[in-house]
Amino acid sequence: MPASHKQVVTSSKLPTARGPYSPAIRVGDLLFVSGYGPIDPTTDQVVKTDFATQVRLTLENLKTLLEEAGGSLENVVKTTVYLSDMDNFAAFNEIYATYFPNDPPARTTIQAARLPLDIDVEIDCIAYTP
């Protein structure tokens, strides 16, 4: 694939990347979004409060990136969710459903032994953004 077909998508409204990766890559009408966690974009600090707050902040970060790319959460076709503790699965689903109330995307959810920065949730996604 020629490099001209690959476009890096980023935003000053989001936390800075914590490693050598792009926040998102657009290829044609598809947007591949890196994993986001509960990092406050105004302070660039990890938020380690209650689980519900971490989930909401993570989903807000994804929402912001999608909007910066010209899309929305409605454009998401697939998410992968990493939880530090599967005992939080029901609480996660309750919050997730408020962000994807209609026709939710395909999803995989797994428990990860340890997430970067010792966060409790990380989500990546693929969106169709024509």
pLDDT one-digit tens code per residue, 84-109: 999 999 999 999 999 999 999 999 99
In order of 72, 74, 93, the CA distances from 68 in angstroms are 9, 14, 25
Name the band, by pLDDT with cuts 50, 70 and 90, for residue 19: confident
Q: What is the pLDDT of residue 11?
A: 85
CATH number of 3-128: 3.30.1330.40
User: Rounded mean pLDDT of 29-54?
Assistant: 95
Provide the 3-class DSSP secondary structure of residue 27.
Answer: strand
Q: Which residue has the higher pLDDT, 46 or 1?
A: 46
Q: How far is residue 34's CA from residue 25's CA, in Å, rounded to a whole number?
A: 8
pLDDT tier at 4 (50, 70, 90 boundaries)? low
Distance CA 102, CA 90 (A): 18
* Model confidence pTM above 0.85: yes
